[in-house]
Structure 1
Amino acid sequence: MAESEDKQLLHLVFGGELKDLDSMDFRDLNALDIVGIYPNYATAHQAWKAKAQMTVDNAHMRYFIVHMHRMLDPSSDSKTKSSD
Protein backbone atom coordinates (compact mmCIF):
# COMPACT_ATOMS: atom_id res chain seq x y z
CA MET A 1 0.00 0.00 0.00
CA ALA A 2 1.34 3.42 -0.93
CA GLU A 3 2.14 5.96 1.76
CA SER A 4 -0.62 8.33 0.58
CA GLU A 5 -3.18 5.53 0.99
CA ASP A 6 -2.02 4.91 4.58
CA LYS A 7 -2.43 8.55 5.63
CA GLN A 8 -5.98 9.34 6.70
CA LEU A 9 -7.03 12.95 6.28
CA LEU A 10 -10.43 12.84 7.94
CA HIS A 11 -13.18 15.18 6.69
CA LEU A 12 -16.67 15.68 8.11
CA VAL A 13 -19.59 16.57 5.83
CA PHE A 14 -22.65 18.13 7.46
CA GLY A 15 -25.36 20.62 6.68
CA GLY A 16 -28.50 22.33 7.78
CA GLU A 17 -30.88 25.14 7.16
CA LEU A 18 -29.53 28.61 7.89
CA LYS A 19 -31.59 31.28 9.68
CA ASP A 20 -30.73 33.73 6.92
CA LEU A 21 -28.37 33.82 3.97
CA ASP A 22 -26.03 36.38 5.56
CA SER A 23 -25.15 34.28 8.61
CA MET A 24 -23.74 30.93 9.60
CA ASP A 25 -26.42 30.40 12.26
CA PHE A 26 -28.49 27.27 11.81
CA ARG A 27 -32.26 27.40 12.19
CA ASP A 28 -32.42 24.16 14.23
CA LEU A 29 -29.27 22.53 15.61
CA ASN A 30 -31.22 19.35 16.35
CA ALA A 31 -32.01 19.03 12.64
CA LEU A 32 -28.41 19.17 11.41
CA ASP A 33 -27.70 16.54 8.77
CA ILE A 34 -24.47 14.72 9.65
CA VAL A 35 -23.67 13.13 6.29
CA GLY A 36 -20.52 11.33 7.42
CA ILE A 37 -16.80 11.24 8.04
CA TYR A 38 -14.58 10.48 5.06
CA PRO A 39 -10.92 9.39 4.79
CA ASN A 40 -9.92 12.09 2.30
CA TYR A 41 -11.09 15.30 0.68
CA ALA A 42 -12.06 13.70 -2.63
CA THR A 43 -14.66 11.38 -1.12
CA ALA A 44 -15.90 14.12 1.22
CA HIS A 45 -16.34 16.43 -1.76
CA GLN A 46 -18.38 13.78 -3.60
CA ALA A 47 -20.70 13.42 -0.58
CA TRP A 48 -20.96 17.20 -0.16
CA LYS A 49 -21.80 17.70 -3.83
CA ALA A 50 -24.49 14.99 -3.81
CA LYS A 51 -26.19 16.48 -0.72
CA ALA A 52 -25.90 20.04 -2.01
CA GLN A 53 -27.50 19.04 -5.31
CA MET A 54 -30.34 17.23 -3.50
CA THR A 55 -31.24 20.43 -1.63
CA VAL A 56 -30.70 22.96 -4.43
CA ASP A 57 -34.34 24.11 -4.24
CA ASN A 58 -33.90 25.33 -0.64
CA ALA A 59 -31.74 28.46 -0.73
CA HIS A 60 -31.25 28.35 3.06
CA MET A 61 -29.85 24.80 3.08
CA ARG A 62 -26.06 24.64 3.20
CA TYR A 63 -23.58 21.78 3.43
CA PHE A 64 -20.00 22.09 4.61
CA ILE A 65 -16.76 20.12 4.60
CA VAL A 66 -14.78 20.30 7.85
CA HIS A 67 -11.10 19.35 7.70
CA MET A 68 -11.05 17.28 10.88
CA HIS A 69 -7.42 16.24 10.37
CA ARG A 70 -6.39 19.87 10.79
CA MET A 71 -8.10 20.02 14.18
CA LEU A 72 -6.75 16.66 15.31
CA ASP A 73 -3.17 17.46 14.31
CA PRO A 74 -2.68 21.21 13.70
CA SER A 75 1.06 20.75 13.17
CA SER A 76 0.36 18.74 10.01
CA ASP A 77 -1.62 21.60 8.43
CA SER A 78 1.29 23.07 6.49
CA LYS A 79 2.31 19.64 5.23
CA THR A 80 -1.13 18.68 3.87
CA LYS A 81 -2.59 21.90 2.45
CA SER A 82 -1.89 20.96 -1.15
CA SER A 83 -3.21 17.39 -0.87
CA ASP A 84 -6.49 17.89 0.97
Structure 2
Amino acid sequence: MTQGDNKKQLLHLVFGGELEHLEEVEFKDLTALDIVGIFPDYASALTAWKAKAQQTVDNAHMRYFIVHMHKLLTPEKN
Protein backbone atom coordinates (compact mmCIF):
# COMPACT_ATOMS: atom_id res chain seq x y z
CA MET A 1 0.00 0.00 0.00
CA THR A 2 1.43 3.34 -0.96
CA GLN A 3 1.28 6.52 1.05
CA GLY A 4 -1.27 8.01 -1.35
CA ASP A 5 -3.81 5.23 -0.78
CA ASN A 6 -6.77 6.21 1.38
CA LYS A 7 -7.94 2.63 1.65
CA LYS A 8 -7.82 1.26 5.19
CA GLN A 9 -5.43 -1.65 5.71
CA LEU A 10 -7.44 -4.66 6.94
CA LEU A 11 -5.10 -7.65 7.09
CA HIS A 12 -6.47 -11.16 6.50
CA LEU A 13 -4.67 -14.50 6.89
CA VAL A 14 -5.60 -17.46 4.69
CA PHE A 15 -4.53 -20.89 5.91
CA GLY A 16 -5.76 -24.46 5.97
CA GLY A 17 -5.08 -28.06 6.67
CA GLU A 18 -6.57 -31.50 6.99
CA LEU A 19 -9.11 -31.89 9.79
CA GLU A 20 -9.35 -34.86 12.16
CA HIS A 21 -13.16 -34.89 11.93
CA LEU A 22 -15.61 -33.04 9.73
CA GLU A 23 -17.68 -31.89 12.72
CA GLU A 24 -15.00 -29.75 14.40
CA VAL A 25 -11.96 -27.62 13.67
CA GLU A 26 -9.11 -29.78 14.91
CA PHE A 27 -6.22 -30.30 12.53
CA LYS A 28 -4.75 -33.74 11.90
CA ASP A 29 -1.14 -32.48 11.73
CA LEU A 30 -0.24 -28.97 12.88
CA THR A 31 3.17 -29.21 11.21
CA ALA A 32 1.46 -29.67 7.84
CA LEU A 33 -0.70 -26.51 7.94
CA ASP A 34 -0.71 -24.63 4.65
CA ILE A 35 -0.15 -20.91 5.20
CA VAL A 36 -1.41 -19.39 1.96
CA GLY A 37 -0.55 -15.82 2.93
CA ILE A 38 -1.53 -12.51 4.46
CA PHE A 39 -3.65 -10.22 2.31
CA PRO A 40 -4.39 -6.48 2.55
CA ASP A 41 -8.16 -6.80 2.24
CA TYR A 42 -11.00 -9.32 2.40
CA ALA A 43 -11.54 -9.42 -1.38
CA SER A 44 -7.99 -10.59 -2.13
CA ALA A 45 -8.10 -13.06 0.78
CA LEU A 46 -11.37 -14.48 -0.55
CA THR A 47 -9.84 -14.94 -4.00
CA ALA A 48 -6.91 -16.86 -2.49
CA TRP A 49 -9.24 -18.90 -0.28
CA LYS A 50 -11.43 -19.89 -3.24
CA ALA A 51 -8.40 -20.97 -5.28
CA LYS A 52 -7.05 -23.20 -2.48
CA ALA A 53 -10.47 -24.62 -1.66
CA GLN A 54 -10.97 -25.52 -5.32
CA GLN A 55 -7.54 -27.22 -5.49
CA THR A 56 -8.44 -29.47 -2.55
CA VAL A 57 -12.11 -30.12 -3.37
CA ASP A 58 -11.50 -33.89 -3.65
CA ASN A 59 -10.38 -34.15 -0.01
CA ALA A 60 -13.42 -33.66 2.24
CA HIS A 61 -11.21 -33.26 5.32
CA MET A 62 -9.17 -30.40 3.88
CA ARG A 63 -10.40 -26.97 4.97
CA TYR A 64 -9.18 -23.43 4.42
CA PHE A 65 -10.04 -20.45 6.57
CA ILE A 66 -9.87 -16.65 6.44
CA VAL A 67 -8.78 -15.02 9.70
CA HIS A 68 -9.56 -11.32 10.14
CA MET A 69 -6.18 -10.34 11.58
CA HIS A 70 -7.14 -6.68 11.83
CA LYS A 71 -9.76 -7.66 14.42
CA LEU A 72 -7.10 -9.44 16.49
CA LEU A 73 -4.61 -6.58 16.20
CA THR A 74 -7.04 -3.84 17.25
CA PRO A 75 -9.95 -5.51 19.08
CA GLU A 76 -11.06 -2.21 20.63
CA LYS A 77 -12.05 -0.91 17.17
CA ASN A 78 -14.30 -3.88 16.33
Normalising by the residue count of structure 1, what TM-score does the alignment of the two structures yield? Answer: 0.85
Equivalent residue, structure 1, for 2:25 = 24
2:71 maps to 1:67: no
Report the number of matched residues: 75
Equivalent residue, structure 2, for 1:76 = 77
- Distance in 2 (CA, whole Å) between partners of 1:71 and 1:59 is 29
Which aligned pairs between 1:2-81 and structure 2 lie closer than 5 A?
Answer: 2-4=5-7, 7-77=8-78
Normalising by the residue count of structure 2, what TM-score does the alignment of the two structures yield? Answer: 0.92
**Secondary structure at the residue paired with 1:26?**
coil
When the two chains are superposed, the root-mean-square deviation of aligned CA atoms in Å is 0.9
Equivalent residue, structure 2, for 1:80 = none
Equivalent residue, structure 2, for 1:82 = none
5+ residue gaps, structure 2, are: none
**Percent of aligned pairs sharing the same letter:** 68
Q: What is the deviation of 1:2? A: 4.6
**Secondary structure at the residue paired with 1:51?**
helix
- Distance in 1 (CA, whole Å) between partners of 2:50 and 2:27 is 20
- Distance in 1 (CA, whole Å) between partners of 2:5 and 2:45 is 20
Q: What is the deviation of 1:3? A: 2.0
Q: What is the deviation of 1:47? A: 0.2
